Structure 1
């Protein structure tokens, strides 16, 4: 009579197989999600549930989890820093109140030594090491927006080895040190920067970070030129899309490629696009008169504004070609409202077309295209009245014969239908 096979359970599997299972559950990508506004969040509950099954699985999973996930604890006296990083830089918080967390490999201390306040409660929170690059990038943009910020700030880093026994000398591999230290090379002009603690950083890594911190910023002219270059690549992709009339997939791929180039062009002039979120940085950086060709004697702010409007107009066109009228309408109306607000026109107040058209605007032709393409999007969304209003303004911005014919053609689609 055959003997029944012994019952199998997870712990009867070979250790290598169990480790693969832990890896699939504990890797950061499994705990990371992105919401509809493009913001990142973490939910480690499924992974951490392994720790509560039994002692053996706890010990095995714990080792794998912390080999795949590295954390940093941020300590600063400014209560709003966490919210700022989350909103401006898409840096999700892993633990909001992280003072008791001890499994971090890095301490990030940010303070202003000239303005010490011993009585102020410190903000202490935990972030994932994968997001340190975002922190460095956000801080870099903040320095360009507020030139007086970094000369008052001190950055103190401490490398930690929380997993070795107390009697062993703390150790951190060079690759891990690079991951934790290199993001801070983007933070320039600090009053003080130091690495403290029992783990001595590799001299070459620390020297590289300090060298990056004193690198000169690219000139405003080079940023504008890079934006122009990327915008041109986006325009080329749009043109390629129109050639693929018999291949819808290639056509859509070309239009999406154009949008990717436009997003990179925004970034070149320090404007971050994330889904429907747009964050404009470094206004102080552009508050100057340019000195080098092809921009000599021109206003950096005006050149940047012109590029911004051109990018919006081209973005609207790309979305129209993708038949995403709502997206084209969103980006067009956002820019139109921003311009109206700049001229002191409250939202909802209707002006005559002659009043709404800022005829002295240097980017008037580009703004006319924004109005025109937004009108087309509104018409495709069934909003005829709004489309007519926008077309009336576009007519003033775009007096050329060809533009007028194109506007009149769209106006015919806006006409009131009788019967």
Structure 2
């Protein structure tokens, strides 16, 4: 019995099993994800299988096609953990997307080589997070950019498809496609259009989220301090996991993303101001941020000590020691924040001694 001799319901089940997102992506231990639609040749069997399988494929997989004025955008977002489904010529020819995203410089008069790539809807929030943190590195960038979002329906009636889809994008899907852009702030202009027409309530909520301010350097430093203090309180109550969650939020307030043993630092320029509001009057924002970072590292080490996660203690501790040693030498500009006389050095020293003693005692008890 060949495929077409099976009942349609069984064929649809086969298509769904082979073409589902989870069956075609691999996530490594470090959180990086790769897509490989190895069964896409199913769409080349014949016309009938193509139309049947394509419908199931697009019902299970929603794609977003993104065009930016920056030639190397796909590499930048990939470094930020956004998996790319298609790029370059393959992306330019791609027509199976539900949302078209066009980012442009309308007033510069410059012609730049555009970069086009395709991502899965499950990763759209990662793309918008990448944009959010990149804007923290270049605070003046977004005010020169426009954003055009165009909804579309790649499913259409065909002679071999007796259940053509109505040209409609459900509200729940529109929310998944548009709400992530609420992370993007201070754009020159935002236009949302498409066929079918986007729902006004969804667009209004997206723009409401966009209007929530990024927060001044003082406000973000206040938030980081509050989360750090909350983490310290949890740590004193012997709640190290709760403490680590507070510390994670403190890092995010400083535009630093910590996931397990990896971290990405953004927003150095955002804090390069002399602060004029309490409790940081007349202090340089970068210096306040540096001290907070060092204290967060010290307290994070103590939390992992309480969890007896020795591997992570060693990893974080050795990384910190390496940076501190290099602090005595000539640092690159982006590392200079760690070389300002190590104002929190005594605190780090106490944690290092405590950690070294604890690990040593563990090693002794095991012999």
Specify the TM-score bucket, using the shorter chain as the normaliser.
0.7 to 0.9
Q: Distance in 2 between matches of 1:346 and 1:26?
A: 49
SS for the counterpart of 1:113 is coil
Q: 367, 371, 381: which is aligned to 2:348?
A: 367
Report the counterpart of residue 156 of structure 1 in structure 2: 148
| Post-superposition offset of 1:15 | 5.0
Report the counterpart of residue 81 of structure 1 in structure 2: 73
Give CA-to-partner distance per residue, 1:241-297, whole Å, 9 cap, x none.
Answer: 5xxxxxxxxxxxx54444343223211221011343321112222223334444444
Report the counterpart of residue 329 of structure 1 in structure 2: 314
CA contact under 8 A between 1:316 and 1:373: conserved in structure 2? no
Give CA-to-partner distance per residue, 1:357-391, whole Å, 9 cap, x none.
Answer: 98954323322234325644875898xxxxxxxxx
CA contact under 8 A between 1:333 and 1:374: conserved in structure 2? no
Q: 216, 232, 248: which is aligned to 1:263?
A: 248
Q: Distance in 2 between matches of 1:233 and 1:11?
A: 62
Which sits farther off after the overlay, 99-108 or 214-223? 214-223
Residues 214 and 255 of structure 1, relative CA distance in 2, 3 Å threshold:
closer
Is 1:178 aligned to 2:171, yes or no? no
Give CA-to-partner distance per residue, 1:190-249, whole Å, 9 cap, x none.
Answer: 2232234443222222233333333322343443333334334444554555xxxxxxxx
**Equivalent residue pairs, number:** 352
Report the counterpart of residue 110 of structure 1 in structure 2: 103
Report the counterpart of residue 416 of structure 1 in structure 2: none
Query: Whose RCO is larger (CA < 8 A, sep 6+)?
Result: 2
Q: Distance in 2 between matches of 1:373 and 1:268?
A: 28
Report the counterpart of residue 284 of structure 1 in structure 2: 269
Report the counterpart of residue 228 of structure 1 in structure 2: 225
CA contact under 8 A between 1:313 and 1:373: conserved in structure 2? no
Report the counterpart of residue 335 of structure 2 in structure 1: none
In structure 1, stretches of 5+ residues that fail to align are 1-7, 242-253, 348-356, 383-412, 414-419
SS for the counterpart of 1:115 is coil
Q: Distance in 1 between matches of 2:135 and 2:223?
A: 20
Report the counterpart of residue 161 of structure 2 in structure 1: none
Residues 15 and 240 of structure 1, relative CA distance in 2, 3 Å threshold:
farther
Q: 197, 200, 216: which is aligned to 2:197?
A: 200
Which sits farther off after the overlay, 65-74 or 323-332? 323-332
Q: Distance in 2 between matches of 1:123 and 1:207?
A: 29
Report the counterpart of residue 272 of structure 1 in structure 2: 257
Residues 285 and 43 of structure 1, relative CA distance in 2, 3 Å threshold:
same
Which sits farther off after the overlay, 362-371 or 264-273? 362-371
| Post-superposition offset of 1:95 | 0.8
SS for the counterpart of 2:92 is coil
| Post-superposition offset of 1:128 | 0.8
CA RMSD of aligned residues (A): 3.5
Q: 85, 92, 100: which is aligned to 1:94?
A: 85
Q: 29, 34, 47: which is aligned to 1:36?
A: 29
Q: Distance in 2 between matches of 1:192 and 1:380?
A: 60
In structure 2, stretches of 5+ residues that fail to align are 159-163, 333-337
Is 1:123 aligned to 2:120, yes or no? no
> Which protein has the larger Cα radius of gyration, Structure 1 or Structure 2?
1
TM-score, length basis structure 2 = 0.81
Residues 159 and 377 of structure 1, relative CA distance in 2, 3 Å threshold:
farther
| Post-superposition offset of 1:85 | 0.8
Q: 281, 287, 304: which is aligned to 1:319?
A: 304
Q: Distance in 1 between matches of 2:50 and 2:166?
A: 25
Is 1:71 aligned to 2:67, yes or no? no
| Post-superposition offset of 1:149 | 1.0
Is 1:62 aligned to 2:54, yes or no? yes
